[in-house]
Amino acid sequence: MPRKIYEAWMDDESVTFATQEAIKFQKENNLLSGHLEFLHVIEADTHEEALAVHHIKMGWEPYKPVGEPKLCPNDCGFYFYPKGSSECPRCGKIC
């Protein structure tokens, strides 16, 4: 499964963290307001992994994923968060 690229941007009001595609869409549709400042880019296998690194870079408390991790039903040996992104690092979207 190809890794995803996430970006963090700060505008006049808040920090936005999303995939590059989602950031591009928000910029094209003027959904990010005011002066934009690029913060960082993260390449990760899952949304949970990206958020964990993002929290470290921002100096925030450790990221706590939604729900409990479960073994992937595809027997690949990796864990995923069914109540979170539902992304297995090896198999991709599960549910």
Question: Residue 89: what are its φ and ψ, rounded to 5°?
Answer: -60, -25
Q: Which strand (E) or helix (H) includes residue 52?
A: helix 47-58
C-alpha span between 63 and 48 (Å, rounded): 8
C-alpha span between 15 and 86 (Å, rounded): 24
pLDDT of residue 56: 98
pLDDT (tens digit per residue) in 19-45: 999 999 999 998 987 789 999 999 999
pLDDT of residue 32: 86
pLDDT of residue 13: 82
pLDDT (tens digit per residue) in 42-83: 999 999 999 999 999 999 999 999 999 999 999 999 999 999
What's the average model confidence in pLDDT over 3-26? 95
Q: What is the CA radius of gyration of the chain?
A: 15
Q: pTM of the entire structure? A: 0.90
C-alpha span between 65 and 52 (Å, rounded): 9
pLDDT of residue 2: 82
pLDDT of residue 45: 95
